[in-house]
Chain A
Amino acid sequence: MEHIPTTWYLLLAAILFSIGAGGVLIRRNTLVIFMCVEMMMNAANLTFVAFAREFGSTTGQVFVFMVMTVAAVEVAIGLAILVELYRHVKSVNIDSFDSLKG
């Protein structure tokens, strides 16, 4: 099997993370922001797996398993909150949620 060096995976993870972070900041659609957050998590997962392979351990993969669990729960609850929010504000534009304004 071909062996792609770990470094490349790490760089890819960095790119994915940066794109995700930029997306969170640029986009106004809350759902898209959600997706970007997921993407950032995936970047983290990628580094976990890359290092796990590097050291030949299963710990990293267990960690990924945990992250995925958290992600699933987060999406479920986040989307539920979003639906409720939508009922109140009739919008998914993140800038319309400004009731925290001081």
Chain B
Amino acid sequence: MVEYVWLTIAFPLIGVLINLFFGRLLEDAFSKWFKRSEVTGFIGSVTVVLSFLVSFAIFLQALGIEHFSHQVKLWDWITIGDFHVAISFLVDPLSIIMLLVVTGVGSLIHIYAVGYMDHDEGSARFFTYLNLFVASMLVLVLSDNYAGLYVGWELVGVCSYLLIGFWFFKPSAADAGKKAFIVNRIGDFGFALGIFLIWSTFGTLDYMEVFHEVGASHGEFASVINWVTILLFVGAIGKSAQIPLYVWLPDAMEGPTPVSALIHAATMVTAGVYMIARNNVLFAMAPNVSLVIAFVGAITAFFAATMALVAFDLKRVLAYSTISQLGYMILAVGVGAYAAGIFHLFTHAFFKALLFMAAGSVMHAMKGVIDMRRLGGLKDKMPETYWTFLIGAAALSGFPLITAGFWSKDNILVKAFELQQPNQAFGIILYTIGIITALLTAFYTFRAVFMTFHGEPRDKNLYDHAHENRRVMTLPLWILAIFSIGAGFLGLPSKLGLPNWIEDGWLYSVMAESHEILEHAHHFAHIGFGLEIALLSISAVVALVGIFGAWHVYIRYPQIAVDTARYAGRFYQLVLDKYRVDELYDTWIIEPGKGLADILAKIVDMNFIDKTLVDGSANSVRGLGHIMAILQTGYIRNYVMVIFVGIVVMGVYFFLL
């Protein structure tokens, strides 16, 4: 089955081709019987579901096999001298888990989008992009070399741009698309440099060869690895929306909600986490860089959580929470808990996709209104959406014991707490930031729940318009809701004697090497049973306190929120303005950049390049043309004469010389 892994990419690509070339035609042809989005959406969904089935078959095959790892080579892509890049896939537990997430969550979101896009004329375009995205993401996770990773990395960036700007007639959407693309380019630049550095150092771009060479070395690559990991992490910062490049993600919510769910919550933004986990050997050998990564993740998690506290746009709350959760994942891979990071990625994909889709369901029912100040009391109008959103919210805030988010987040926090190198204090600091963030997370998540679904309806007109959505939209929600709860039991804390299937079983072979390196460096302290219980309890209490706090503030005494906002005054305003980071970038980066561009444009470009090079070449060609034009008399006889003379001259040359 493994050798058919390319089918997972081929199916969505077929969907792309069909929808791209025949989408509108088919929609028109079947318009009597089906809605537009149902035709193209059917094609899009079926292809992704097929892709998921293939992935699942591969998963079943790999299940129970130790050290399952296959390289499936399709063909050589680039061969220049000793530079070889193959189109070839690496199928191992890590890529399989990503396969399952991308195609599984992807299929559900495709199905959901059939219902969500039913008012939209551009559904053919939408599903073309969405399928293209799935294919690109699979290229990213399946590739067995950095070149393929980079191709996928850029492709998903393009798809993200196209889909954020899907409603391109809205200036804000078009701008958001551009912003996402440009901000991502900054990260990609570093990423590309990192790949160049890998090639110039190791002479290959194949993961396995690079890891092998690094593993066989004895510290001679230490400084290079530091640089490589820093540069690769710059790429991850852009793609996974970490400080300081997170600014694009909140704006990306301008895209259709299925896009936010698929790309900007479940899959694409986790590419950075996946990439670091994939390169766990390199990152394990760069402990200082890893520490920086951990802190970037922790700080991002905290700041994003504070911004989520005050946002009024439901989707923006979720966007900030995504950044925050990505911060957790980055924190995890930073402290060396790669499996924990992937596990959180796995559970997060379910519950965040669920939350986004539920939010989209609200939005769909409310004619596109997403401002929580105008919602409220929707619990009775949309019971299915409410319950699934509630489950997602519980998972996100880490509701103890039953939700997936609790186990995966706790796993990360425990690992952070255990951090010993270079200093135990760092571990404690990271843990503290993490746990405070967990409190904020629980609070803002249930703030969103209460403001949207509980209380009195704030806008009577909208409330009356609200209705539960069709089955095609709610069914995926329920499936995701089941996973949001069930997925957590794949990674129970092993310290308590419970099975941690994902870390100790499934992913162990991928992480074995880095595990050994970290073990060797006494990276983690091994805490005992009692401490583990204590940490778990703290997490549980924190989550419950957060939820209770939200209830206290937003249901029982709504006045508190208003008073606090007034009391905090300027600070509140600052947070509401997203810490003015956008303005900061505007003043310190964009404006000077514009100034520089102005200088270059006015002085260098207009005077030197335009006048001398551009005009100069044009003028010289025109002058030459004038000279040549004299020859073009237009008299056929002259042309014939020239031919004749030529023949004679040639004859003389051949016969007489």
Q: Which A residues are closer than 8 A to B by beta carbons? A: 21, 24-25, 28, 94-95, 97-102
Contacts and interface: CB of A to CB of B under 8 A. Distances in A.
Contacts of B629: 102
Contacts of A95: 635, 637
A54 B641 CA distance: 34
A94 B641 contact: no
B644 interface: yes
Interface in B610-654: 628-637, 640-641, 644
A97 B636 contact: yes
Nearest to A99: B634
Contacts of A100: 632, 634, 636
23 contacts: A21-B644, A24-B640, A24-B644, A25-B637, A25-B640, A28-B637, A94-B636, A94-B637, A95-B635, A97-B635, A97-B636, A98-B635, A100-B632, A100-B634, A100-B636, A101-B632, A101-B634, A101-B635, A102-B628, A102-B630, A102-B632, A102-B633, A102-B634
A102 B631 contact: yes
Contact of B634 (A24, A25, A98): A98
A97 B638 CA distance: 12
A100 to B, nearest CB: 4
Contact of B644 (A25, A98, A99): A25
- Chain A CB within 10 Å — which of B628, B630, B644 has the most? B644
A85 B194 CA distance: 68
Given A25-B641, A94-B637, 10 more contacts: A21-B644, A24-B640, A94-B635, A95-B637, A99-B634, A100-B632, A102-B629, A102-B631, A102-B633, A102-B634
B622 to A, nearest CB: 13
Contact of A98 (B630, B631, B633, B640): B633
Contacts, number: 34
Contacts of A101: 632-635
A102 B626 CA distance: 9
- Chain B CB within 10 Å — which of A95, A97, A100, A102 has the most? A102
A25 B639 CA distance: 10
Nearest to B648: A21
A101 B629 CA distance: 8
User: Main SS of the interface on chain B?
Assistant: helix
A79 to B, nearest CB: 16
Interface residues of B, number: 13
A54 B191 CA distance: 77
A24 B640 CA distance: 8
Contacts of A102: 628-634
Contacts of A25: 637, 640-641, 644
A94 B629 CA distance: 20
A28 B636 CA distance: 10
Contacts of B644: 21, 24-25
A41 to B, nearest CB: 15
Contacts of A21: 644
B520 to A, nearest CB: 80
A24 B636 CA distance: 10
A21 to B, nearest CB: 6
A22 B644 CA distance: 9
Contacts of B636: 94, 97, 100
Contacts of A98: 633-635
Nearest to A24: B640
Nearest to B641: A25
Contacts of B630: 102
Contacts of B631: 102
A102 B628 CA distance: 8
A101 B631 CA distance: 9
Interface string B443-456: 00000000000000
A98 B635 CA distance: 5
A89 B192 CA distance: 66
A100 B630 CA distance: 12
A28 B641 CA distance: 13
A58 B200 CA distance: 69
The 9 A-B residue pairs whose C-beta atoms are closest, nearest first, are A101-B634, A102-B632, A98-B634, A102-B629, A100-B634, A94-B636, A95-B635, A98-B635, A25-B641
Contacts of B635: 94-95, 97-98, 101
A98 B631 CA distance: 13
Contacts of B628: 102
Nearest to B636: A94
B643 to A, nearest CB: 10
Nearest to B645: A25
B630 to A, nearest CB: 8
Interface in B340-356: none
A100 B632 CA distance: 7
A31 B205 CA distance: 72
Interface string B177-219: 0000000000000000000000000000000000000000000
A88 to B, nearest CB: 15
Contacts of A24: 640, 644
B240 to A, nearest CB: 61
Interface in B308-345: none
A80 B632 CA distance: 26
A24 B639 CA distance: 11
Contacts of B641: 25
A24 B642 CA distance: 12
